[in-house]
């Protein structure tokens, strides 16, 4: 069968449509819907993708894994040092060296040393005993155990070591270094221990003025203190230099970061390794690319073309060679343009042009002689500065190899160069830079050097890992993986399509920065619309429409004056029963831009008699009032004012060819990658005959065609699109499959006809692709069985992050656990039920709330100055920031010995529901019961069953129940599993598992995103598991294309 495949790919969904093609007027055209479907899956990232707050799931696991590794390494370091000091007689002997044994040794040793060195009753000095011992060891001979205790203290907290590769928070890094610098000034030749002991001494003018724990220290300070102790004690102990070196390495060794160079991607043009951003060739490429894209916003008023000449471009490029950035004002001055001249890019980039950041940073170290060095040497130095590991080694390298002074070399470790990588290799970038400097633009050069893709066509799409595509975005990887499953299954059923048209959602094709900007723009737009509604209702109470809101916003943008005639606009002449101002399209409707950025207001007679179906420039540039019109347009105030000014100065002949057909070619990176992936079925975007088979459409037209063909009402019953039904993705896929140049031209014709008729609708009727089109689409949509990707993977949170106390038994014999909470996290229920453990603390918290007149702890204690406090015997006020409360949950113990801790299950940590049938002695089922297992329990089962072939987790376990009932394991249910059961009316229905807990199982129709609130019922909210037996529940497998396998 000849067919076209339409694909609507989102971050968590894939809609698809198979449209059969027959020959019409000598060419194959879609004439019938064969089948449609939807595949739903969890996004490959966590967080809100639309708002740009998404993050890789691996990132969260990595952030949790890093502290675990650090803790393990810390324990290993302490254990190794403990054994080493015992071997040299510097610590008491013990049978074991685990954390519990070490603590017992030090508790006894500290008790003995306290009696010797600390005055009885001096609790502060007792807490800082290790610092006192270190101070003594650096100044005079001490006993062996005193020396061992002092050295061990150095390993417990060994100071901050700058690791620039891992520094991601420059603000926090600056705070740390500023604090270290301040402490360094206070030390003034002393050791850290001596400084701290003297600061807390009763003889100090302000004892205890600063807690030791809140002071940042540097690793070098500990190195210095160790060396002083070694120098002082070495003559008195029988430790060889090698022994001291071993102790030093044990305390201070820090493994270098693992190299990530193997993760650098490949250039899509020549296959070489991508170029480091800090290298000169990329810096030059970025400058030229940005400069070539500059366009003057008010070129017409300047009497010139909007593009810069090659000489002007070269002038900016030369100036940027030594600057990290150049403001727009400086660019205008450099070019000799009149003050206030703007570039179109300033609409979204207000900071200016990015220059040669590497030269700017390195000249701060090397001075002007940096540019006198050969380019090869500069690039070599740049690489070393980017990849260096040890600051001391970098300073030494700067002095010995590059001839820097001590002051210059000291600047090298803090010099930040760009560590990311470009999309192209250095060799490819060199070609671009050389040709750009001659005036050629990026797209022309790229098209010239890429050539044709001659790869062999494939029968099936390969896994992404074998596709040779450079994709790092987890959301795109997940989306394309699910696309592969669907496309391959369709190819097996129908053969290869004759064409594929694919559209990516904004969440996939836009970068994070772009998504953040779009979300911000949407929020700003929402606020402006709300303000407009308030203004309209003040003028016309009880009435407003979407058209009214748009008119109001346009009036505010143009200062309540018609930009064409200068006539004043009032609310009554704008929105009254006989409005005098039309919404007017700056570029005529035939260009298919019905967005706010292409609209303004126009006095109705001028619009219909003068402006007509022309661009603003073509209609008005010959009028005597043209300069006045431009002056009014220059006064526009709004987020897209600059773009509108540019459009007023654009003649129809200057509008790029293919302005409307741009809808058929989405060139954003992820869209191009998706297009290349599916094009592997044909050996490239074009087949052996040169016919392009795969198109990535932009999507701007999809909503227009869907509305004009009446497809919105299929699911919503109205003219507005609904997102409360997954099947809307399939409706979009039908439209995408039908998007071709002919369809775009049909929209152009409909828009022109509407303009000629002065219709208020943007389009006149657009002809249906074939008779009864809307009803045929509806029939296909209603037959869809939505396919959901099951959630059966084990990776995920094993439990909530909170750690609970060991079990406590109260006076009534009840067991309970406690947990520490910040007082802002206390709930009203915890306060009402007296959940705070300590009665004295509880009373102080309640009294403070009463004093503040606020019952909500989060608001009352938002500022620390409002926190309650305890008054000590000596009159000191001890603030209360955290309290212990009785836990409502029943945590369980994990790990053993010193690592044992108590945790509770957290959000989404339930893994499966194990369904059992309780049977009588004859094996007849009496009822069903279930046991929910968490991810933690699932991992434990996997470990226990590691020798079992096949399934190792979802197996019956005798520990699931603690009674003597005879049970038979039926099956396991996981989130997003598909099941069939009798519905409320007795007919079989297919649902998915939305949520699992021991209290209930929530069912959800396949086409519904989620069941919430009033949509919950006794039928879909299963609280009695035996109802599943009564309703004859059985599991169903739905293939990626929606085919049932029972």
> Which residues carry out catalysis?
8, 585
C-alpha neighbours within 13 Å on the C-beta side of residue 286: 23
Please give the backbone phi and psi of residue 236, each rounded to the nearest 5 degrees, phi first.
Answer: -100, -5
Distance (Å, whole) CA 468 – CA 354: 32
Which residue pairs from 702-708 have beta carbons closer than 8 angstroms and sit at least 24 positions apart in sequence?
Answer: 702/503, 702/732, 702/735, 702/736, 702/739, 704/592, 704/594, 704/747, 704/762, 704/763, 705/735, 705/738, 705/739, 705/743, 705/747, 705/766, 706/731, 706/732, 706/735, 708/747, 708/750, 708/763, 708/765, 708/766
Which one, of 326, 407, 393, lies nearest residue 365 by Cα? 407
* Strand pairing report for 978-982 and 1034-1035: antiparallel
Instruction: Give 26's contacts (C-beta < 8 A, 6+ positions apart).
Output: none
Strand order in the sheet with 27-40: 694-696, 499-504, 3-9, 13-24, 27-40, 787-788
Distance (Å, whole) CA 408 – CA 363: 10
555 and 580 Cβ atoms separated by less than 8 Å: no
Tokens of 579: 């409005």
426 and 279 Cβ atoms separated by less than 8 Å: yes
DSSP string covering 534-554: HHHHHHSTT---HHHHHHHHH
CB-CB neighbours of 67 under 10 Å: 9
CB-CB neighbours of 946 under 10 Å: 8
Distance (Å, whole) CA 1001 – CA 546: 42
588 and 611 Cβ atoms separated by less than 8 Å: no
Distance (Å, whole) CA 354 – CA 89: 62
Distance (Å, whole) CA 512 – CA 505: 13
Distance (Å, whole) CA 69 – CA 80: 16
Instruction: Give 323's contacts (C-beta < 8 A, 6+ positions apart).
Output: 355, 356, 360
Distance (Å, whole) CA 464 – CA 332: 47
Distance (Å, whole) CA 825 – CA 994: 29
The sign of the CA dihedral 473, 474, 476, 480 is positive
* Exposure string for 511-527, b = 16+ CB within 10 A, e = fewer: eeeebeebeeeeeeeee
* Helix, strand, or coil (residue 382): helix
Which one, of 705, 717, 719, lies nearest residue 748 by Cα? 705
335 and 316 Cβ atoms separated by less than 8 Å: yes
Distance (Å, whole) CA 460 – CA 478: 18
- State the DSSP H helix or E strand holding residue 821, giving kind and residue range, or none if neither: strand 818-822
Instruction: Give 137's contacts (C-beta < 8 A, 6+ positions apart).
Output: 146, 147, 150, 151, 229, 232, 233
Residue with tokens 């070269």, as numbered in its chain: 314
| Centroid of chain to Cα 766 | 40
């Amino acid at each position: 069968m000849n067919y076209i495949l339409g694909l609507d790919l989102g971050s968590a969904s894939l809609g698809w449509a198979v449209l059969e093609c027959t020959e019409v007027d000598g060419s194959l055209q879609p004439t019938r819907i064969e089948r449609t479907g939807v595949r739903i899956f969890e996004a490959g990232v966590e967080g809100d993708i639309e708002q740009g707050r998404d993050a890789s799931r691996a990132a969260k696991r990595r952030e949790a894994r890093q502290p675990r590794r650090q803790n393990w390494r810390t324990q290993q370091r302490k254990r190794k040092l403990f054994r080493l000091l015992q071997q040299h007689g510097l610590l008491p002997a013990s049978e074991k060296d685990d954390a519990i044994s070490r603590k017992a040794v030090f508790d006894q040793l500290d008790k003995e040393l306290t009696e010797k060195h600390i005055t009885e009753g001096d609790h502060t000095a007792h807490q800082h005993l290790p610092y006192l011992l270190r101070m003594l060891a650096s100044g005079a001979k001490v006993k062996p155990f005193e020396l061992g205790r002092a050295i061990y203290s150095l390993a417990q907290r060994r100071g901050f070591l700058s690791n620039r590769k891992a520094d991601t928070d420059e603000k926090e890094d600056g705070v740390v270094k500023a604090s270290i610098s301040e402490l360094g000034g206070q030390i003034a030749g002393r050791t850290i221990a001596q400084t701290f002991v003297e600061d807390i001494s009763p003889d100090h003018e302000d004892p205890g003025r600063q807690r030791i724990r809140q002071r940042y220290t540097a690793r070098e300070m500990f190195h210095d203190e160790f060396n002083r102790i070694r120098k002082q004690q070495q003559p008195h102990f029988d430790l060889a230099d090698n022994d001291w070196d071993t102790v030093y390495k044990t305390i201070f060794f820090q493994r270098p970061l693992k190299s990530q160079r193997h993760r650098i991607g490949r250039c899509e043009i020549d296959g070489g390794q991508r170029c480091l951003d800090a290298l000169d060739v990329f810096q030059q490429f970025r400058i030229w690319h940005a400069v070539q894209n500059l366009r003057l916003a008010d070129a017409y008023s300047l009497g010139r073309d909007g593009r810069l000449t090659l000489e002007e471009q070269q002038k900016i490029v030369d100036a940027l060679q030594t600057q990290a950035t150049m403001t727009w004002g400086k660019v205008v001055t450099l070019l000799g343009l009149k003050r206030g001249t703007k570039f179109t890019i300033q609409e979204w980039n207000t900071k200016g042009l990015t220059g040669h950041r590497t030269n700017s940073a390195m000249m701060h170290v090397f001075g002007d002689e940096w540019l006198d060095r050969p380019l090869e040497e500069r690039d070599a130095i740049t690489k070393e500065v980017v990849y260096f590991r040890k600051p001391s080694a970098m300073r030494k390298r700067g002095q010995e190899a590059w001839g820097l002074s001590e002051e210059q070399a000291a600047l090298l470790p803090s010099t930040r160069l760009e560590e990311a990588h470009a999309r192209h290799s250095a060799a490819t970038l060199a070609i671009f830079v050389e040709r750009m400097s001659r005036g050629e633009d990026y797209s022309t050069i790229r098209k010239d050097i890429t050539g044709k893709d001659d790869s062999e066509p494939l029968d099936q799409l390969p896994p992404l890992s074998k596709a040779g595509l450079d994709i790092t975005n987890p959301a795109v990887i997940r989306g394309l993986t699910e696309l592969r499953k669907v496309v391959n299954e369709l190819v097996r059923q129908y053969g290869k399509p004759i064409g594929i048209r694919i559209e990516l959602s904004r969440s996939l094709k836009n970068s994070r920065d772009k998504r953040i900007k779009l979300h911000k723009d949407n929020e700003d737009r929402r606020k402006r619309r709300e303000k407009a509604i308030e203004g309209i209702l003040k003028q016309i109470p009880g009435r407003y429409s979407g058209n009214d809101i748009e008119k109001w916003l346009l009036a505010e943008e143009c200062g309540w004056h018609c930009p064409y005639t200068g006539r004043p606009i009032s609310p009554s002449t704008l929105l009254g029963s006989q409005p005098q101002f039309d919404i007017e399209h700056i570029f005529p409707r035939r260009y298919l831009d019905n967005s706010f950025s292409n609209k303004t207001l126009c006095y109705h007679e001028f619009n219909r008699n003068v402006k007509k179906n022309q661009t603003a420039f073509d209609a008005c540039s010959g009028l005597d009032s043209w300069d006045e019109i431009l002056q009014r347009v220059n006064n526009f105030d709004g987020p897209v004012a600059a773009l509108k000014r540019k459009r007023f100065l654009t003649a129809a002949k200057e509008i790029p060819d293919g302005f409307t057909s741009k809808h058929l070619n989405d060139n954003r990176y992820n869209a191009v990658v998706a297009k290349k992936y599916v094009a592997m079925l044909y050996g490239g975007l074009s087949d052996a005959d040169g016919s392009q088979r795969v198109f990535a459409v932009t999507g701007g037209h999809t909503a227009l065609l869907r509305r004009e063909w009446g497809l919105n009402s299929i699911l919503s019953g109205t003219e507005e699109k609904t997102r409360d039904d997954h099947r809307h993705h399939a409706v979009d896929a039908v439209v995408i499959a039908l998007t071709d140049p002919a369809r775009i031209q049909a929209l152009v014709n409909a828009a022109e006809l509407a303009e000629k008729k002065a219709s208020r609708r943007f389009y006149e009727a657009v002809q249906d692709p074939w008779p009864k089109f809307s009803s045929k689409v509806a029939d296909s949509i209603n037959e869809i069985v939505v396919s959901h990707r099951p959630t059966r993977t084990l990776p995920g949170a094993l439990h909530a992050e909170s750690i609970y106390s060991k079990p406590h038994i109260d006076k009534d014999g009840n067991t309970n656990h406690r947990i520490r909470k910040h007082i802002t996290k206390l709930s009203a229920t915890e306060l009402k039920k007296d959940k705070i453990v300590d009665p004295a603390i509880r009373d102080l918290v309640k009294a403070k709330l009463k004093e503040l007149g606020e019952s909500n702890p989060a608001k009352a204690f938002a500022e620390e100055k409002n926190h309650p406090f305890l008054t000590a015997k000596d009159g000191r006020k001890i603030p209360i920031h955290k309290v212990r409360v009785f836990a409502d949950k029943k945590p369980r113990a994990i790990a053993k010995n010193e690592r044992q801790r108590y945790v509770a299950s957290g959000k989404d940590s339930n893994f499966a529901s194990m369904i059992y049938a309780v049977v009588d002695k004859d094996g007849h089922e009496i009822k069903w019961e279930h046991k929910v297992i968490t991810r933690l329990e699932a991992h434990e089962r996997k470990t226990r069953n590691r020798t079992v072939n096949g399934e190792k987790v979802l197996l019956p376990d005798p520990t699931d129940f603690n009674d003597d009932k005879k049970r038979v394991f039926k099956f396991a249910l996981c989130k997003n599993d598909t099941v069939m059961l009798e519905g409320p009316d007795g007919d079989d229905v297919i649902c998915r598992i939305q949520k699992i807990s021991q209290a209930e199982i929530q069912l959800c129709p396949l086409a519904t995103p989620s069941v919430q609130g009033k949509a919950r019922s006794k039928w879909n909210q299963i609280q009695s598991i035996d109802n599943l037996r009564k309703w004859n529940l059985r599991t169903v497998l739905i293939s990626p294309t929606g085919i049932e396998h029972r």
